[in-house]
Structure 1
Amino acid sequence: MHDARFERLTRGLGLAGLLPFLGALAAAWLAPPFWQVLAIQAFLAYGAVILSFLGGVHWGLALGGGVAAAVRHRRLAVAVLPSLVAWPALLIDARLGAGCLAAGFLALRAYEAGPGASGLPGHYRRLRTLLTLVVVAAHLLLLLRLMRLA
């Protein structure tokens, strides 16, 4: 059971997790050229870290049990996919990498909205929807910036 303080803490930490995305995105648009390149790299690296972290949430839920074995097995398989999307996204062209990361965030959220919802508290699912929308919008704005630099 989660109390209101726990939910506020979860929301606050989740929203704070947007700051590196937004700061790097702003720098990608506004900083001097050298710093723009660094900001783009930082944005993509942070996106890869966060996408992998979100996979870890499902790994932890699978280990916790409380659901049918088939659900736990599927959750374990899904848990490793974000890392398998995130890591190569860092090694390819930044535009393609940003697109892959955005797709990874959307795909994981879609899974969580369906069969992956088991074991996820309602407040977490709502927060993940909000955070995913902001993160994907930030990736799209980064893609726009990358297209203007090309």
Structure 2
Amino acid sequence: MPVLSLDGEHRLPIRLGLAGLLPFIATALGAWWAPGAWSVYAIQAFVYYSAVILSFLGGIHWGLAMGRDAPKSPTFRGRVMLSMAPSLMAWPALLWGGAPGTALLMFGYIAVRGYEASATGSVGLPEWYRGLRNVLTIVVVACHLAVILRFWQLL
């Protein structure tokens, strides 16, 4: 399993990735602890931020495919197709909203990480990135579960 270190030459993207967890954590906590309408606003902010970041993950793979993979290779085709999937999941998740939209986003994070862990998807991904994505995915999925539970409680 890749090791995540805040020291070394990759500390900036690692720190930025970890900082990207702050809106997930803050809005998930706000969904539970904010008063009344603010709780609903926190949930909405969570879903919107999640959709944006899931789409960003697709962009990472688009860039890898364009910059590293031979255009006629199976890796290129697979990575380009995967790079579109997060946006195509995020958009209906925004339209659905609520628990179904949040669950779809959560599934998107799990699917992207599963692809990145596969033999094909891991090609070109540095070890430090894989370690970072493990941590980020665990926290992001936990936040999604917390928000889904909050939806159920509000029903």
Identify the TM-score tier after normalising by the shorter chain.
over 0.9
C-alpha change, 1:100 and 1:66, in structure 2 (3 Å) is closer
Partner of 2:59: 56
Aligned equivalents of 2:69 and 2:77: distance in 1? 12
Asked if 1:19 corresponds to 2:28, the answer is no
Give the match for residue 100 of structure 1: 104
How far is 1:88 from its partner?
Answer: 0.5
Displacement of 1:66 in angstroms is: 4.3
Please say if 1:136 is aligned against 2:141: yes
What amino acid sits opposite 1:100 in the alignment? L
Q: What SS is found at the alignment partner of 1:117?
A: coil
Q: How many residues align?
A: 147
Alignment equivalent of 2:40, drawn from 37, 44, 48: 37
Distance 2:141 2:152 in 1: 16
Q: Which runs of 4+ in 1 moved over 4 A?
A: none
In 1: Cα distance, 2:69 partner to 2:79 partner = 12
Taking a change above 3 Å as real, the CA distance of residues 66 and 92 of structure 1, as seen in their structure-2 partners, is closer
1:80 partnered with 2:84: yes
Extract unaligned runs of 5+ from structure 2. Answer: 1-6
Are 1:109 and 2:99 counterparts? no
Task: Give SS of 2:43's match.
Answer: helix
Structure number with greater CO (CA < 8 Å, separation at least 6) is 2
Q: CA deviation at 1:6?
A: 3.2
Return the structure number with greater helix share: 1
From 131, 146, 149, give the equivalent of 2:151: 146
SS at match of 1:90: helix
User: What is the TM-score when the length of structure 1 is the normalising length?
Assistant: 0.94
Q: Which secondary structure does the structure 2 equivalent of 1:118 belong to?
A: coil
Identity %: 51
User: Matched residue of 1:91: which SS?
Assistant: helix
